[in-house]
């Protein structure tokens, strides 16, 4: 897989904003990607040095909608989240630095 197919988008939450100062960033990644593939993709795209990668599969949430025809039950998609920690000597990722 190519680097841009592995890293889908940055994950911007309150908890992820707190990690920006410590060079800890969150991304939504492809479900089939391994930790080493994610590490290489982040290093290739952003030109930084990655110390470690933690991954987890986030289960989709149940959605309920009441309509005239009755109750409709659905579910959001599952996705894989990667939390990437950079080394101390690595430069920060410019995209996230502009947010803080």
Place of tokens 């996705």: 79
| Cβ atoms < 10 Å from Cβ of 89 | 6
What one-character DSSP code corresponds to residue 22? G
Q: Answer whether residue 25 shows pLDDT above 70.
A: yes
Q: What's the mean pLDDT in 44-55?
A: 96
Weakest mean pLDDT among 10-19, 74-83, 91-100: 91-100
> Which domains does the chain possess?
3-97 (3.30.70.330)
Q: What's the mean pLDDT in 74-86?
A: 96
- What is the distance between the alpha carbons of residues 74 and 71, in angstroms, rounded to a whole number? 10
Q: Answer whether residue 41 shows pLDDT above 70.
A: yes
| pLDDT band per the 50, 70, 90 thresholds, residue 50 | very high
**Do strands 7-10 and 24-29 pair parallel, antiparallel, or not at all (unpaired)?**
antiparallel
Position 100 scores a pLDDT of 63
Q: Are 29 and 8 in contact (CB under 8 A)?
A: yes
């Amino acid at each position: 897989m190519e680097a841009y197919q592995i890293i889908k988008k940055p994950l911007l939450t309150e908890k992820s904003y707190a990690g920006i100062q410590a060079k800890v960033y969150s991304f939504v990644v492809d479900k089939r990607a391994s930790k080493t593939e994610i590490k290489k993709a982040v290093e290739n795209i952003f030109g930084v040095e990655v110390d470690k990668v933690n991954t987890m599969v986030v289960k989709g949430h149940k959605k309920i909608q009441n309509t005239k025809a009755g109750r409709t039950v659905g579910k959001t998609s599952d996705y894989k989240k990667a939390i990437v920690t950079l080394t101390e000597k690595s430069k920060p990722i410019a995209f996230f630095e502009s947010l803080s």
